[in-house]
Amino acid sequence: MISLEGKTALVTGAASGIGAGIARRLAEAGADIVLLDIDAKNGLAIEKEIRSSGTKAKFYACDVGKSPDCRKAVDDSLKYFGRIDILVNNAGVISRKSVVELSEEEWDFVLRVNLKSLYLLSHLLIPHMIQNGGGCVINIGSGWGIKGGPDAAAYCASKGGVVNLTRAMAIDHGKQGVRINCVCPGDVKTGLLEMEADQIGRDFDEFLAEASARPLPRVGNPGDVANAVLFLSSEMASWITGSVFVVDGGGLA
């Protein structure tokens, strides 16, 4: 029922975790895949894996918080694929500190990767989508973009920005044929979650056990988030824009 044949999707933070899961799932549905990440080793491995399944894929090393990197990656990928129909802004970092503890450099880094990157890539690709007759953008937010969390001031600020930027973009570009939605995951078992546990000095297994205390009693996996992204990328979501999809096993509930 869901096919992305003939589409090209660009996924940021695609070398691991949720981003790699999204790239795999969209490729399974028939989309060609552009992979952006600063991790060239893992990014090239994901490219090879997707290509081995018979799907076209290309990795570009890119710091998504830097305008020149984004412009080069977009230019190169458009030359290679000819079009980009789906943009998944997934790249993200976390810093578990309060505003008192955060340095200005740490604040800037989190906001640059988590929020500015959405602006940079959307600024470059939405005009291309409009010219091609439409497209869709899916921004990966967080449950902590909807409610606050302890000792994560920059992260919560950035993800709250992702949620409301999604709504603003949807209002601006709906009449131009571009749908923009947001997926907000709960705790997903990735390297980023392990890094978060380390930042707050928690044993990872204990951290996962506590995170499983929700109506659907487990932490998420990248495929859970990827399924929501696949749906929003497809024609089944043709009348959905400006929406915030929570994928968290009922944690916010």
CATH number at residue 231: 3.40.50.720
| Number of domains, the chain | 1
Tens of pLDDT, residue by residue over 31-76, are 999 999 999 999 999 999 999 999 999 999 999 999 999 999 999 9
Is 106 inside any structural domain? Answer: yes
Per-residue pLDDT at 144: 97
Residue at 174 is within a domain:
yes
pLDDT beneath 70: ranges in the chain: none
Within-domain flag for 237: yes
What pTM, to 2 d.p., does this model score?
0.97
Which sequence positions are flagged as catalytic? 155
In a domain, 17, yes or no: yes
Nearest to 90 by CA among 5, 33, 32: 33
Cα(138)–Cα(136) distance, rounded to whole angstroms?
7
Beta strand residue intervals within 158-222, DSSP E: 178-185
Cross-strand bridge partners of residue 89 = 139
* 140 within some domain: yes
Is 3 inside any structural domain?
A: no
Per the document, the length of the chain is 253
- Per DSSP, which regions of 82-190 are E strands? 86-89, 135-140, 178-185
- Asked whether residue 176 is assigned to any structural domain, the reply reads yes
SS3 146: coil
What long-range pairs does 68-74 form, CB within 8 A, spacing at least 24?
70/117, 70/120, 70/121, 70/124, 71/124, 73/34, 73/36, 74/10, 74/121, 74/124, 74/125
pLDDT at 107: 98
The pLDDT of residue 29 is 98
Which residues, 6+ apart, have CB-to-CB distance to 132 below 8 Å? 83, 85
Q: Has residue 123 been placed in a domain? A: yes
Q: What pLDDT score was predicted for residue 117?
A: 98
Domain extent, residue 164, equals 8-186+221-246
pLDDT score, position 192:
92
